[in-house]
Chains A and B, each alone.
Chain A
Amino acid sequence: MNADSEPVAEIPFEGVTFDFEAIFRAEYSRIAKVIARVVRDPARAEELAAEVFWKLSRTPKAQGPNSSGWLYRTATRLGLDELRKQSRREKYERLFGFPRPARTPEDLHFENEEHRRVRSVLGRMKTIHAELLVLRSDGFTYEEIAKALELNPASVGTLLNRAEEAFRKGYVRRYGQY
């Protein structure tokens, strides 16, 4: 912490002080990267990452030695919510013929990208399946996934297999490729 910076928050937790800034600095980067996998835009991912920590600051039950798992679960859900909101907005705008801002060459390129397809499929999957795939794709171990999603570690492999199968079916149904 810089000498001239102020503490973000210090939250009492079971008689000890929860060092919020320490966990912020330790986890922020990875949290933002997990969200960026889902929402595409790094700047938006950073805003949502800050939102995750703000939620943590408002959730005393989540504060403590196991707060990391809560952070990643919340981050993944916020990212998926954002993805679904984007999809709904685009669908609604298309449906009602809203004037849309002119698309940039980058937008046009993006529409044909594989990651757009992947995100589209993720946005339509069951939340738990999408969470499993996002965390696993970010390199989380089974144990870390179990901790983040509050699952039995022994069931993570099975659930991942189901999630992959659901993803594959959703992708093929939508894009017809395998």
Chain B
Amino acid sequence: MSGAMDSTENTNASEWVRDRLASLAPPSAWEPNADRGLDHFRGRERRANRRRELWRGAALAVLIACIVWLALPATRGIAQRLWDGFYTKDLEAIRFNGPRGDLKGLPQAEFVIPVTGPHRVQSIAQAHQEAGFEPRLPKPLMEQIALGSALLAVNGPIVVRMRINVADLRTALQRRGIDFVNVNVPQSWDGMEILGQTSPSIYAGFKGVTIMQTLPNALVTPAGFALGDFAEIALRIAGLSAPEAHGLRDKFAESGGLFALIPPDAKYSFQEVSLISGQGLLFQNDTDEDDRRKCPFCPGSHELVLTWTTPDRVFQLRSQNLTVTVDQVVAIANSILGQ
């Protein structure tokens, strides 16, 4: 008797659930259009192909910048570099010239350890423990984290490696119409490996504003490797003229700066801004285009990205909150404690 009643109840419950689920039926007048779907598909395919090229270019751009930075003794001490987003006290933003395919021949960066996304942590103490350094944040944000109202996350370290192929470098120079007899690419470079490493990073987010920070990053090369020469060659392959490539190197040698390489099709603007800790580089995207995949420091749709350093930290602040102005972004950066 009880079993029969249960069975009836179950049947009623099932019918009740099915009635609710019936409300999900799409509009009867709507019929998906396969031709339109194919257009979406092709668009997706084109975007993916573009992204692959852009990622390759971006990774190389970052590595070129790292190399230039390390090549110059004046910059070694300050260790102000972020491998996935970088700037300097004396920042120079340079657009790539020519098609991205021309970068083919530069060593390809490969991840040595799998890259994982940030995972959420519950407290500043936990972030400190997992990242190995104490996060520096604005006081109000720390209060929100303590209240559980702000997001706090930690990402693991990133290690990339690239192996030099002299023949590829020479071919790339030739493609640029550069006589490699006059631009020396030593055969002894062949097979040499360069390793770049970031520390773990800490992310704190509130009201559409995210602050990311890492320790200064490291680049490891074989002893005696002429990084400056290599950087100048890489810049030539990236499309800079001989005087430009050489001039930039000299300029950075004098000032202790470095530069950011901007993809040629970037539609966002970039400018230097003054912070209490020095100069920062601000990217501002007022378009609907999401450029985040184009390079590590590129802005998403309607996003502000500010990157700057202090003697022992690299910071990046991203704002997707449309009500936050450039002045407010600068004020937030300046309000970080302990810079």
Interface, chain A (partner B; CB < 8 A) = 5, 8-9, 21, 24-25, 28-29, 32-33, 36-38, 42, 45-47, 49-51, 53-54, 57-58, 95-99, 113-115, 117-119, 133-134, 136-137, 161, 164-165, 167-168, 171, 178
Least CB separation from B144: chain A residue = A96
Q: Is A133 within 8 A of B17, CB to CB?
A: yes
The answer on a CB contact under 8 Å between A33 and B13 is no
- Name the B residues within 8 Å of A21 (CB-CB): 38
Give me 6 A-to-B residue pairs in the complex whose CB atoms sit less than 8 angstroms apart, sorted by A's number.
A8-B38, A8-B42, A168-B13, A168-B17, A171-B20, A178-B16
By a CB distance below 8 angstroms, the chain A residues around B10 are 161
Asked if residues A28 and B23 are in contact (CB atoms below 8 Å), the reply is no
| Docked CA distance A51–B45 (Å) | 9
CB-contact partner of B321 in A98, A118, A137, under 8 A: A98
Given contacts A8-B41, A24-B41, contact A98 B207 (CB under 8 A): yes
Per CB-CB distance, the 5 closest pairs between chain A and chain B, nearest first, are A50-B40, A32-B32, A137-B21, A36-B26, A37-B24
Q: Which residues of B contact A165 (CB under 8 A)?
A: 13
Q: How far is the CA of A163 from the CA of B16 in the complex (A)?
A: 13
Closest CB of chain B to A5's CB: distance in Å? 8
CA distance A5 to B125 in the complex (A): 59
Least distance between B323 CB and chain A CB atoms (Å): 6
Of B23, B30, B31, B44, the residue contacting A51 (CB under 8 A) is B44
Contact with A along B316-335 (1 / 0, CB 8 A): 00000111000000000000
B14 and A164 within 8 A (CB): yes
Q: How far is the CB of A75 from chain B (nearest CB, A)?
A: 12
* Chain B contact residues, majority secondary structure: helix
Assess whether B26 is in contact with A45, with CB atoms less than 8 Å apart: yes
Taking a contact as CB atoms closer than 8 A, the residue among A8, A42, A96 that contacts B27 in the complex is A42
Does the CB pair A37–B25 fall under 8 Å?
A: yes
Q: How many interface contacts (CB-CB < 8 Å) are there between A and B? A: 106
B149 within 8 A of A: yes
Whether B37 and A46, one on each chain, are in contact in the complex, defined by CB atoms closer than 8 angstroms, is yes
Q: At the interface, yes or no: B33 with Cβ under 8 Å from chain A?
A: yes
Given A24-B34, A32-B32, A54-B45, the answer on whether A137 and B208 have CB atoms closer than 8 Å is no
Alpha-carbon separation in the docked complex, A91 to B149 (Å): 12
Residues of B within 8 A of A54 (CB): 41, 44-45, 48
Q: How far apart are B42's CB and chain A's nearest CB, in angstroms?
A: 7
Is B41's CB under 8 angstroms from A50's CB? yes
The chain B residue sitting closest to A58, CB to CB, is B48
Asked whether, in the complex, the Cβ of A114 is within 8 Å of the Cβ of B20, the reply is yes
- Given A36-B26, A54-B45, A161-B10; A167-B20 close (CB under 8 Å): yes
User: In the complex, A133 Cα to B208 Cα: how many Å?
Assistant: 34
| Complex alpha-carbon distance, A161 and B12, angstroms | 12
- B206 interface residue (CB < 8 Å to A): yes
> CA separation between A164 and B16, bound complex, in Å?
9
Task: Tell whether, in the assembled complex, residue B30 and residue A96 are in contact, meaning their CB atoms are under 8 Å apart.
Answer: no
The contact of A28 among B13, B17, B37, B42, by CB within 8 Å, is B37
B24 proximity list for chain A (CB < 8 A): 37-38, 115, 118-119, 134, 137
Least CB distance, B33 to chain A, in whole angstroms: 7
Residue of B nearest to A113 (CB): B23
Which residues in B have their C-beta under 8 angstroms from that of A53? 37, 41
Q: In the complex, A37→B30 CA distance in Å?
A: 12
- Chain B residues 279-328 with CB under 8 Å of chain A are 321-323
